[in-house]
Amino acid sequence: MATDISNPSNLLAAVDMGTNSFKMLVVRAEPNGRFLTIDRLKEPVVLGRGMNSNTPTINLEAQHRAISALHKFKHFLHNQQVNHTKFVATSAVREAVNKGEFLSIIEEETSCKVEILSGEEEARLVYIGVLQFLPIYEKTVLTIDIGGGSTEFVVGKQGNVIFAISLKLGHVSLTEGFVKNGEVEKMREYIRCVIYESGLVEKIRDVGFEIVVGSSGTIRSIEKAVFMGYAQELMSAVVSYDVFKRNWKFSRKDLSCVVEKLCDKDQREDEDVRRKRFFKRRSEFILAGAVLLSEVFEILNIDEMEVSEYALGEGVIAETIAQCCRDFDVNANARWRSVIKLSSRFNNDKRMKSATRCAGIAREFFAGLKKYDELNDHPERCMLEFNAKDLEYLEAACLLHNIGLYIGKKGYHKQSYHIIKNGDYLQGYSAEEVELIALLARFHRKKFPKSDDSSFHVFPDKGKEKFRILCVIIRISVAVQQCPFMTFQRLEISSCAEGFQLVLTESRDRTLSTGYVQPTLQDVEAELTLELDHFEQVFKKKLSVAMPSSS
């Protein structure tokens, strides 16, 4: 494979052409196998709509939606200079009688070469994806992924699949076949029949499991419904739950309450509107998905399910990295996985993207300062004592700095600190390391920490100064990320050797915004004045802003 993940800026992508939606995951991969999600795109193609069960065919309208979605993805991949992309198709394409013709049209019109995954291979990749998110490598795990056209079951341990099966039960196909006709009880009978006839129950009983994980969008929506009290009429302007008690699990009883609410025939007239507001695009299919999952819980005697943010797309990425990196360990980077898990749990897609951009800027800024110290012999030698762990703390703080916004905007940096410190979320980090990450998140805005700040009593004297340097970097990274229409390009030494230049350029996606006005250098410097002053205070050198004209 031509992909070179030794390049620190290497971008990889996976496109999952599902029955309900097409999803694209873009990540930055590192040689040690660690990856960070840069962006996610999703298009509601609904390939499975209108597919007849006897002769399943992808109709022309669905084909046009698919081609349009892939063109959007290809345009994004070209602009972002993504190095390698893998396209995979699942249930709808797998079952379609016209799949050959469909894939030929895709290749002709988009140049995308698509691999059709078997049900078992899809299940295996879902399990690999889950292992990148949850610390469950040593356990026997039953993973369940409900898709639009099929549901995958896989039992695995230590990265190896013990048993995998794909059943033709999906929230789109069940909605089309039963829910739209008001035949929910008939749907339950059909689900039970398919499960029992598949031999799933006997095979699961033979291999057993220690923990059950759900990984699909449907299951994540059900967990959210449980946590936010959808079935208890708690959806109000003021949310009355404790974020520190969110374990991202739900019980059989929790699931039953949600299903009962969704199936209630005596609902108020505004209940359909409320459901659409809560579940959004998934509202059309959530009833079928929830009933399907409740039947699985009953038949397999599941008491509790843990929820994974990662699934098939991340499994495809991990597989790609494994093919490029001889020493790749599917269980590596447990610490980093806990950071990603915490960030993704409290950040929505928009805030997650902002946090990821912030981490990317901080990483390049850190590398620029360290390279300067390595090449220049000067008294301060500030960055020579920094190592890969310090960079890890910095990136972790960048990914977590805005999780306090989950509670509210006022004083959110303090809330971020408390969530990191008190939630027991970061696994594999010592108490001192957790404190360092939490304090970086706490001081990414508002007052800049002084060397004698009482908050730093846990650090030795040299550690206090290192903290202030990391604090400067995260504050500048956040400020640049928030700077309208600008993005970080590089850090370089100014020609007169008085200090550094922060080189910014116009952000491609932001310049497309309606009413865009190109900012001046003075505008940008005014936005960053406070953080430029903090840089000079700590490094004893000036940091100026440069904006080369874009082509």
CATH of the domain at 438: 1.10.3210.10
Reply yes or no on whether the pLDDT at 146 is more than 50: yes
User: Average pLDDT, stretch 546-550?
Assistant: 69
Distance CA 423, CA 246 (A): 9
User: Could you read off the pLDDT of 279-294 as tens digits, one per residue?
Assistant: 887 888 999 999 999 9
Reply yes or no on whether the pLDDT at 242 is more than 70: no
Pairing mode, strands 486-493 and 499-506? antiparallel
Return the pLDDT at 550.
47
Core vs surface per residue 169-206: b (16+ CB within 10 A) or e: bbbbbbbbebbeeeebeebbebbeebbeebebeeebee
Cα–chain center distance at 16: 14
Domain assignment present for 129: no
| pLDDT band per the 50, 70, 90 thresholds, residue 344 | confident
In 3D space, the residue among 516, 1, 28 whose CA is nearest the CA of residue 317 turns out to be: 28
Domain assignment present for 15: yes
Reply yes or no on whether the pLDDT at 419 is more than 80: yes
Domain assignment present for 122: no
Return the pLDDT at 336.
87
Distance CA 131, CA 136 (A): 7
Number of residues written out for the chain: 551
Domain assignment present for 6: no
Return the pLDDT at 263.
87
User: Average pLDDT, stretch 465-489?
Assistant: 84
User: Could you read off the pLDDT of 121-135 as tens digits, one per residue?
Assistant: 999 999 999 998 888
Reply yes or no on whether the pLDDT at 323 is more than 60: yes
Backbone angles phi, psi at 90, to 5 degrees: -120, -135
Tokens representing residue 175 in the block: 């909605």
Reply yes or no on whether the pLDDT at 79 is more than 80: yes
Look at residue 479 and give its three-state secondary structure. Answer: helix
For residues 215 and 356, membership in a common domain is answered with: no
Minimum mean pLDDT range among 29-33, 65-69, 147-151, 426-430: 29-33
Return the pLDDT at 374.
67
Reply yes or no on whether the pLDDT at 154 is more than 70: yes
User: Average pLDDT, stretch 390-417?
Assistant: 94
Final residue of a domain: which of 83, 117, 151? 117
Return the pLDDT at 114.
96
Domain assignment present for 34: yes
Strand partners, 161: 156
Minimum mean pLDDT range among 34-38, 73-77, 331-335, 432-436: 331-335
Domain assignment present for 128: no
Distance CA 127, CA 314 (A): 10
For residues 416 and 338, membership in a common domain is answered with: yes
Return the pLDDT at 157.
95
User: Average pLDDT, stretch 201-230?
Assistant: 91
What does 140-168 look like in DSSP terms, one character per residue?
-EEEEEE-SS-EEEEEEETTEEEEEEEES
Return the pLDDT at 184.
94
Final residue of a domain: which of 82, 117, 152? 117
| pLDDT band per the 50, 70, 90 thresholds, residue 488 | low
User: Average pLDDT, stretch 371-379?
Assistant: 65
For residues 293 and 395, membership in a common domain is answered with: no
Return the pLDDT at 395.
95
User: Could you read off the pLDDT of 4-25 as tens digits, one per residue?
Assistant: 444 445 899 999 999 889 999 9
Return the pLDDT at 478.
94
For residues 445 and 340, membership in a common domain is answered with: yes
% of the chain residues with pLDDT over 70: 82
First to last CA, the chain: 33
Distance CA 352, CA 344 (A): 7
For residues 485 and 389, membership in a common domain is answered with: yes
Look at residue 110 and give its three-state secondary structure. Answer: helix
Return the pLDDT at 373.
72
In 3D space, the residue among 290, 285, 81 whose CA is nearest the CA of residue 172 turns out to be: 285
Are 406 and 423 in contact by the 8 Å Cβ rule? The answer is: no
For residues 208 and 80, membership in a common domain is answered with: no
Domain assignment present for 321: no
In 3D space, the residue among 123, 156, 53, 60 whose CA is nearest the CA of residue 95 turns out to be: 53
Helix pair angle (412-422, 388-400), 10° resolution: 120
Final residue of a domain: which of 117, 145, 175? 117
Strand partners, 305: 250
Return the pLDDT at 526.
81
Core vs surface per residue 96-132: b (16+ CB within 10 A) or e: bebbeebbeebeeebebebebbebebbbbbbbbbbbb
Return the pLDDT at 515.
57
Minimum mean pLDDT range among 226-235, 274-283, 504-513: 504-513
For residues 263 and 391, membership in a common domain is answered with: no
Tokens representing residue 29 in the block: 């991969």
Distance CA 547, CA 545 (A): 7
| Greatest Cα-to-Cα distance within the chain, rounded to the nearest angstrom | 78
For residues 334 and 223, membership in a common domain is answered with: no
Q: Which domain holds residue 258?
A: 134-309
Return the pLDDT at 458.
63
User: Average pLDDT, stretch 373-383?
Assistant: 62
For residues 162 and 301, membership in a common domain is answered with: yes
Return the pLDDT at 6.
42
Reply yes or no on whether the pLDDT at 406 is more than 60: yes
User: Average pLDDT, stretch 57-82?
Assistant: 94
Domain assignment present for 319: no
Return the pLDDT at 236.
41
| pLDDT band per the 50, 70, 90 thresholds, residue 234 | very low
Reply yes or no on whether the pLDDT at 399 is more than 50: yes
For residues 59 and 194, membership in a common domain is answered with: no
Tokens representing residue 508 in the block: 């491609």
For residues 154 and 59, membership in a common domain is answered with: no
**C-alpha separations of 217 from 18, 236, 409 in Å:** 12, 23, 27
Domains: count for the chain: 3
* 369 CB-near residues (< 8 Å, 6+ apart): 382, 383, 473, 491, 500
Reply yes or no on whether the pLDDT at 252 is more than 90: yes
| pLDDT band per the 50, 70, 90 thresholds, residue 551 | very low
Return the pLDDT at 244.
60
Reply yes or no on whether the pLDDT at 453 is more than 80: no
For residues 382 and 518, membership in a common domain is answered with: yes
Distance CA 535, CA 531 (A): 6
With vertex at residue 107, the alpha carbon angle to CA 105 and CA 113, rounded to the nearest 5 degrees, is 135
CATH of the domain at 162: 3.30.420.150
Average pLDDT, the chain: 85
Return the pLDDT at 194.
97
Candidate ranges 222-236, 262-276, 417-431, 483-497; pick with highest mean pLDDT: 417-431
Reply yes or no on whether the pLDDT at 200 is more than 50: yes
